[in-house]
Amino acid sequence: MITRRAFLHTPALLSALPATAAKTFHFFDWFHVKKGELGVSLDPARMSPEGRTLRDSISRDFGRDFPLDGHALRPVDVPFGIRLAIEPASKSAPWLGPDLPWEESTNFVRVIQEQGKFRCWYTARVKKAKQQLAFSDGRGMELSGSVLGYAESVDGLRWTKPELDVTRIDGKRTNVVAANINGGGVFRDDHGPPSERYKFFHFAERPKELIPPNATTHERYGLFAFVSPDGLRWEQRPKLLIPYFSDTDNIGAWDPALGKYVGYFRHHISERSISRAETDDFWNWPQPEPILYASPLDGPADDYYTSGYTTYPDDPSLRLLFASIYHRDRDSIDVRLGISRNGRLFQWVSLDPILPRGSHGEWDAGAVYVSPNLVRLPDGRIAAPFSGRSISHNEHWFGAFYGDRADRTGAAWATWADGRLAGIEAAGHGEFTTKAAEFGGDAILVNARTGRAGAVDVELREKGRPIPGFAFDQCVGLEGDHIWSPMRWRGKDSLAMLKGRRLELRFRLRSAKVFGHRFG
């Protein structure tokens, strides 16, 4: 039996991990890369007097140069020999699972890095709990039998599930902080009142007065919200926020660049898809609009199952989707990476999985789901929490019918070296130029990895022209594996003379992959 009790306060640690102050340019897409062009080169013998006057005025007034070395179109800063490539995640050992007497399985974890520690909320199915199902379009949705559990860690690797006097099961204290939930996508909201500091969306049946006459099953449900002052004492609010069958994992957040609340929801266009909405007021949402659904480049049996929305640590303007892709023909789920630079338009970095399922027999062989937030571990790695299960999406029905659930579930980290979600690589020889940006540091750091016979060279340019002393032939190239190592040029012990200038970096790659650069 589950009962509610008064909250027992747990002391918090004092400080959060420090943020990176340097200006960083991640090569997760083509955003920082100049497209280049085929520039006009003129034959002076064929130019008219008016043409010479026009060339001189354009050069003087607009800084646009037309070389006089023959009639031709020649490449100017055109990238070649390169491609964008994701960096598949490494996986930690599972650090959370159903290890308490009342836990049958765990799913969908949320991690917030605050108060000098990692705080985790996760969905857990309670053993022998009564379950209610809703069916829509032939699909079953579990509406009861799950609770919101809480865990915490100082280092992100060793976790505890504190006994809190919030919810009791069979008369015993537990780490359960909310009962009978269908959601659990906890996020911190510093823009609402203190009593609503933490929130999550909850999927449930609408009040009877809000159900249309002769409503379909699809029209009987919607999204509500739970709120909490501390993440441990939760209250469900009665207001219907999204009148739509947004089942499974719905994510809310505050976008500081937009200055709005954003939500990423389950939608249904070409079957399961991802929708989005934004609002100034969390308690008043417009109808979400689909932003991504299976395209002609996907398989005909693919659905977009969950969004996995999060932002990059230290850079909330870099929005990411770690979307779970459901392959109906294989009954399996893996994770793909999407990116947005404006918070509204998303595109896939690659159609290949950035987080694949485990091999047959492993704990995450059936499905993997990434949840917020992408965080920085104490050792500097970037990590996203993901939940996994050993059986496939539909195999759990065997347990429901046979009374024997053989599913293994848990949560672990998907990890990358800092800045290495994706990068620009050249299998052989390739070059590209970055867009101009003001240099305000004292070093230029590069995050790159080369093959055994590979190298990365950098030439500094201003308005398309090499800066004397910083050309390719003065560069001391990088070889091997370097995470934010300084570039050096012969005879230049300092970059102080470049401060305040708008620099372009021309990268020359040979059997190498570069993930980004940093002014710092």
SS3 state at 195: helix
Residues 473-487 have pLDDT tens digits of 999 999 999 999 999
Whether the Cβ atoms of residue 84 and residue 30 lie closer than 8 Å to each other: yes
Residue 395 lies in a domain: yes
Whether 399 has a pLDDT exceeding 60, the answer reads yes
Containing structural domain, residue 124: 87-416
Whether 129 has a pLDDT exceeding 80, the answer reads no
On the CB side of 302, CA atoms within 13 Å amount to 19
Average pLDDT over residues 344-348: 96
Give the confidence band of 297 by pLDDT, cuts at 50, 70, 90. very high
Same domain for 324 and 226: yes
Residue 19 lies in a domain: no
Cα torsion angle, 378, 381, 382, 386, sign: negative
Same domain for 107 and 75: no
d(CA 422, CA 402): 44
Residue at a domain's end among 364, 393, 416: 416
Strand-strand pairing, 198-205 and 187-188: antiparallel
Same domain for 376 and 337: yes
Residue 14 lies in a domain: no
Same domain for 437 and 508: yes
Whether the Cβ atoms of residue 420 and residue 447 lie closer than 8 Å to each other: yes
Same domain for 215 and 120: yes
Same domain for 284 and 195: yes
| CATH code of 508's domain | 2.60.120
Cα torsion angle, 125, 362, 370, 151, sign: positive
Same domain for 281 and 268: yes
Residues 215-263 have pLDDT tens digits of 887 788 999 999 999 999 999 999 999 999 998 899 999 999 999 999 9
Contacts 24+ apart (CB under 8 A), 283-292: 283/225, 283/237, 283/239, 283/241, 285/241, 285/242, 287/242, 287/243, 287/244, 288/242, 288/244, 288/246, 288/263, 291/344, 291/346, 292/321, 292/323, 292/338, 292/346
Same domain for 513 and 455: yes
Give the confidence band of 407 by pLDDT, cuts at 50, 70, 90. confident
Same domain for 42 and 185: no
Residue at a domain's end among 416, 438, 454: 416
Give the confidence band of 139 by pLDDT, cuts at 50, 70, 90. low
Residue 217 lies in a domain: yes
> pLDDT: is 3 or 191 the higher one?
191
The pLDDT value recorded for residue 22 is: 67
Same domain for 96 and 79: no
Residue 171 lies in a domain: yes
Residues 150-161 have pLDDT tens digits of 999 999 999 999
Same domain for 150 and 130: yes
Q: How many domains, in total, are found in the chain?
A: 2
| CATH code of 406's domain | 2.115.10.20
Residue 8 lies in a domain: no
**Proportion of the chain above pLDDT 70, given as a percent:** 92
Residue 16 lies in a domain: no
Residue 7 lies in a domain: no
Give the confidence band of 368 by pLDDT, cuts at 50, 70, 90. very high
Same domain for 77 and 54: yes
The pLDDT value recorded for residue 133 is: 47
Residue at a domain's end among 394, 416, 438: 416
